[in-house]
């Protein structure tokens, strides 16, 4: 553990620390941010909670609130104290901007050092930071944590996959940090280049920034010969470093001394008990630049009840397999692309690379899933290929409860992503009434 005094803090002390920090941040936002002053006043709550239970009556903050505040209107510190800004990827419309004070950057480095240490990292490690550097929080977030822990840090950023493999092999990288879909591409590329990753020093990966399934984890672990660790974060709350798995790989420890996690029912928005699924809500406890109060992440998860054998006392959230933003609604049914991935990784003969094409036929939504045939398939057997196609279709349909079409496509024909994979192509707007 990098900071055992916090990571293994007795629960009652930890909750005391949370309440104390919560009071500080409530006062900070009430005094410095118009939005919170208005929303607290409108909800009739004071900038001072007597208990964590009382806090559950405070108003939520939404993604739209951050968009409306573009670029700096939710900052709780004057710009002279802000030393860095990042922004969300902005896939839908307006981007959101977040600001960090020197203390924020310092805490972030500690939290990412914890994350790398929890994955088994020590100052002897060599960390290849393949997350993008720039406005995206991934690259610099991991970078600072890796340096803080004392690892050799390779700021290679994303892209140029052959060079990634070359560097990984020549520099003796031990820990790879990137999105899970890019980890797969690196594994495939190494194979094509004749590089056997199991003979390199690589032993762990910290993968995040997109939801992925347990089957995909197993596939990555086998292809790269490593332990694949899930990490979680979002720029609105911090970036990577909000929560991360320990080597137990059973839930992500939330850094509760810095973030208060709540799970709320998606309909009633009331807090649910540990173990029950709902939307994840975070409140930052120490951030100065842009604290958020009860921020609704749109991510669906639950708290895993019970203690973790690793000795950390923090709550564990289950890995996020669905982000409501990625959710697609087809004929009234909610579909998460990760459900498709989970199915594909369990079927021999297909690769876990897929794309969902949404279209319209009349008023009806159509779904066509393009699935790559594995390169070692026997391509002479038409019946075998047809059987494969039918199986993929049947299994996806039963997982999603929506009827779909499946098209088998040639190996490696679906565009590989160097960051977040583009899983869904929605043509419904373009085909209206077609």
Partner 1 sequence: MIEQVSVFLENKPGHLAELTRALANAGINLRALMLADTSQFGVARIICDHPHAAKAVLDSAGFGVSITQVLAVEIPDTPGGIADVLDVLGRAGVNVEYAYAFVEPGQNAAVDIFKVDDPAATEALTVAGINVIAPDRLYAVDTVA
| Residues within the interface to partner 1 (CB under 8 A) | 373, 375, 377-380, 382, 385-386, 389, 407-413
Q: Return the one option of partner 1, Zn ion, none that residue 222 interacts with (CB less than 5 to 8 A, by type).
A: none
Cβ proximity to partner 1: between 387 and 432 the closer is: 387
DSSP 111-137: HHHHHHHHTT--TT-EEEE-SPPSSSH
Kindly state the smallest distance separating residue 261's Cβ from partner 1, in Å. Answer: 45
Identify the H or E element spanning 239: strand 239-245
Kindly state the smallest distance separating residue 231's Cβ from Zn ion, in Å. Answer: 13
Interface with Zn ion by CB under 5 A: which range of 55-63, 262-270, 294-302, 312-320? Answer: 312-320
Q: Return the one option of partner 1, Zn ion, none that residue 373 interacts with (CB less than 5 to 8 A, by type).
A: partner 1
Distance between CA 1 and CA 238 in Å, rounded? 21
Kindly state the smallest distance separating residue 406's Cβ from partner 1, in Å. Answer: 9
The tokens for 79 are: 């710009």
Cβ proximity to Zn ion: between 110 and 418 the closer is: 110
Q: Return the one option of partner 1, Zn ion, none that residue 31 interacts with (CB less than 5 to 8 A, by type).
A: none
Kindly state whether residue 308 participates in binding Zn ion, applying the rule CB under 5 A: yes
Distance between CA 77 and CA 33 in Å, rounded? 9
Cα 172-173-179 angle, rounded to 5 deg: 155
Question: Nearest Cα to 58, choosing from 264, 279, 349?
Answer: 264
> What's the full length of the chain, in residues?
434
Q: Return the one option of partner 1, Zn ion, none that residue 385 interacts with (CB less than 5 to 8 A, by type).
A: partner 1
Cβ proximity to Zn ion: between 111 and 344 the closer is: 111
Kindly state the smallest distance separating residue 391's Cβ from partner 1, in Å. Answer: 14
Interface with Zn ion by CB under 5 A: which range of 27-35, 153-161, 238-246, 385-393? Answer: 238-246
Q: Check if the beta carbon of residue 383 is closer than 8 Å to that of residue 421.
A: no
Q: Return the one option of Zn ion, partner 1, none that residue 174 interacts with (CB less than 5 to 8 A, by type).
A: none
Question: Nearest Cα to 286, choosing from 105, 47, 46?
Answer: 105
Q: 75 CB contacts (<8 Å, ≥6 apart)?
A: 33, 82, 99, 289, 290
Question: Nearest Cα to 291, choosing from 325, 252, 260?
Answer: 260
Cβ proximity to Zn ion: between 246 and 377 the closer is: 246
Cis amide linkage into residue 201, ω under 30° from 0: no
Kindly state whether residue 310 participates in binding Zn ion, applying the rule CB under 5 A: yes
The tokens for 64 are: 């739209």
Kindly state the smallest distance separating residue 386's Cβ from partner 1, in Å. Answer: 7
List of residues contacting Zn ion (CB under 5 A): 246, 248, 308, 310, 312
């Amino acid at each position: 553990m990098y900071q055992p005094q916090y990571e293994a803090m007795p629960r009652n002390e930890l909750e005391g620390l949370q309440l104390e920090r919560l009071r500080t941040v409530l006062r900070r936002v009430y005094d410095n941010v118009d939005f919170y002053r208005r929303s607290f006043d409108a909800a009739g709550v004071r900038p001072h909670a007597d208990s964590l239970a009382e806090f559950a009556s405070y108003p939520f903050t939404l993604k739209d609130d951050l968009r409306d505040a573009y670029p700096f209107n939710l900052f709780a510190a004057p710009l002279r104290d802000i030393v860095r800004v990042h922004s969300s990827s902005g896939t839908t419309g307006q981007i959101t901007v977040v600001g960090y004070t020197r203390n924020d950057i310092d805490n972030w480095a500690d939290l990412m050092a914890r994350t790398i240490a929890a994955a088994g990292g020590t100052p002897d490690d060599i960390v290849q930071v393949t997350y993008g550097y720039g406005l995206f929080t991934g690259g610099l977030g991991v970078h600072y944590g890796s340096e803080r822990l004392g690892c050799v840090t390779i700021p290679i950023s994303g892209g140029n996959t052959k060079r990634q493999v070359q560097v990984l092999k020549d520099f003796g990288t031990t820990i790879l940090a990137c999105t899970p879909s890019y980890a797969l591409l690196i594994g495939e590329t190494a194979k094509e280049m004749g590089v056997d990753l199991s003979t390199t020093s690589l032993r762990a990966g910290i993968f995040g920034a997109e939801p992925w399934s347990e089957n995909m984890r197993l596939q990555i672990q086998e292809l790269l010969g490593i332990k694949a660790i899930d990490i979680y974060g979002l720029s609105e709350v911090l970036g990577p470093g909000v929560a991360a798995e320990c080597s137990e790989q059973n839930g992500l420890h939330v850094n509760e001394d810095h973030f208060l996690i709540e799970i709320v029912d998606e309909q009633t928005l009331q807090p649910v008990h540990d173990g029950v699924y709902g939307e994840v809500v975070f409140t930052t406890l120490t951030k100065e630049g842009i604290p958020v109060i009860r921020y609704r992440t749109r991510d669906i998860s639950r708290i895993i009840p019970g203690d973790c054998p690793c000795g950390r006392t923090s709550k564990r959230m289950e890995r996020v397999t669905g982000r409501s933003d990625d959710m697609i609604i087809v004929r009234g049914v909610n579909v998460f692309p990760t459900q498709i991935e989970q199915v594909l990784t369990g079927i021999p003969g297909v690769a876990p690379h897929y794309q969902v094409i949404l279209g319209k036929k009349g008023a009806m939504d159509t779904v066509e899933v393009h699935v790559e045939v594995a390169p070692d398939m026997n391509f002479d057997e038409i019946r075998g290929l047809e059987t494969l196609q039918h199986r993929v279709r049947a299994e996806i349909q039963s997982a999603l409860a929506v009827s779909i079409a499946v098209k088998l496509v040639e190996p490696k024909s679906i565009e590989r992503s160097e960051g977040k994979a583009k899983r869904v192509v929605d043509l419904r707007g373009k085909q209206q009434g077609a």
